[in-house]
Structure 1
């Protein structure tokens, strides 16, 4: 199995229990057109996983918000600007890290947000 195939399998394992939302569902939650969600993806304010021809956004990225979280968007942007692929960004955000504790995505919605972004900045150098 290639490195990319291993990454995708690991990502699929990490996201197996996650609720994945279509771009239209996220657009409805944010009260914006689906195309605006595509813009968020292109600007690295959100990130999606590909399943077949579809791009799906893990619900943990958007929680019950009405727009992208500045901390989630900040971490994604920093990692993307540092050369990380969407798959690598999702791996980082959803891999449990006992030093946080928990997963970076959960810390981004709580008191650990600045630490996650600081770590993302050091990873992206």
Structure 2
């Protein structure tokens, strides 16, 4: 199954939806990244980008794209969380939940090029 389709067990709840803030359709994300539509689907299937089904269409949190690129470290973090058994919604919740020890959210830390500590925490979840 591709990451374009959220499964029943990973249905997006309103609280997690709100944590992510602004959402982009795949077409909007494609424009912001300056890539072709088939490339964004490839990024999602390779877990370099995460999409969640909202309003019956796959969408990407806007925070994952900064200055025309996917934020540095997102792909590695997505893979670590997947290896730890997190589904897409759990991954999204983890990335957007504030952590006082970072400080801020993991996605903010990634956007601020503080990915080493984020990945360290994600890796610890697998143990």
Shorter-chain TM-score bucket reads 0.7 to 0.9
CA RMSD in angstroms, aligned pairs only: 2.0
Give 5+ residue unaligned stretches, structure 2.
1-8
1:112 is matched with 114
1:88 and 1:60 map into 2 onto residues whose CA distance is: 17
Please, which of 42, 45, 50 is the counterpart of residue 42 of structure 1? Answer: 45
Once the two structures are TM-superposed, the CA of residue 43 in structure 1 deviates from its matched residue by 1.0
**Greater length-normalized contact order (CA 8 Å, ≥ 6 residues apart):** 2
Alpha carbons 2:72, 2:115 under 8 Å: kept: no
Once the two structures are TM-superposed, the CA of residue 81 in structure 1 deviates from its matched residue by 2.7
Q: Deviations over 1:13-66 (max 9, x none)?
A: 313xx2211111111222211121111111111112211321111110112233
1:6–1:22: structure 2 CA closer, same or farther, 3 Å change rule?
Answer: closer
Please, which of 17, 22, 25 is the counterpart of residue 19 of structure 1? Answer: 22
Over 3 Å off, 4+ runs: 4-7
Once the two structures are TM-superposed, the CA of residue 6 in structure 1 deviates from its matched residue by 9.0
| TM-score of the superposed pair, with normalisation by structure 2 | 0.82
